[in-house]
């Protein structure tokens, strides 16, 4: 299950709690595409969470401090992993992404494209591809690698467009 409402007010704390409980009850992975909400909100709203996918700005907003350098990203992501007991994939635009897992591991994924034509939809494609992979039983690290390719395909097209299986 993917939760992403672009912070438009659809996913209230009550809705988040309900989705979280449902996913936990049935053992369904829950992926949350983060927004700039405080970490305390995520902690209250999601008692169960599999993967959180903030970008650098959203990670800064969650923690209420600037997160710019790779060292700061590393420290901040590990803080979120610890607080929420979930894996965290920090998306870094043209610099790829870094996955921090509950077991303490860190995995780096390079961006798969040259210059993006349009960055709209890249994060959505990434999260969608990860969810499809997980549903098919692909391990999270491999799912993140595949998702980098899907995101690259999407941002390589004008406007918003889907990544097709043949691509």
Active site residues: 124
Nearest alpha-carbon partner for 89 in 143, 10, 154:
143
Q: Are 54 and 62 in contact (CB under 8 A)?
A: yes
Residue 50: φ, ψ to 5°: -90, -50
Sheet (strand 2-3) strand order: 2-3, 31-32, 51-52, 87-91, 97-100, 106-109
């Amino acid at each position: 299950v993917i939760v992403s409402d672009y912070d438009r007010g659809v996913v209230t704390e009550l809705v988040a709690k309900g989705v979280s409980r449902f996913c936990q009850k049935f053992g369904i992975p829950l992926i949350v595409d983060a927004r700039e909400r405080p970490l305390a909100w995520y902690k209250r709203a999601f008692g169960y969470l599999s993967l959180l996918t903030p970008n650098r700005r959203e990670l800064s907003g969650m923690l209420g401090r600037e997160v710019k350098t790779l060292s700061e990203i590393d420290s901040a992501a590990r803080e979120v992993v610890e607080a929420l007991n979930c894996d965290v994939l920090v998306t870094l635009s043209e610099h790829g992404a870094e996955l921090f897992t509950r077991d303490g591991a860190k995995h780096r994924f390079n961006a798969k494209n040259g210059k993006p034509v349009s960055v709209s939809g890249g994060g959505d494609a990434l999260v969608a591809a990860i969810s499809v992979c997980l549903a098919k039983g692909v391990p999270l690290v491999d799912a993140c690698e595949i998702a980098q390719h899907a995101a690259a395909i999407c941002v390589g097209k004008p406007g918003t467009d889907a990544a097709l299986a043949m691509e």
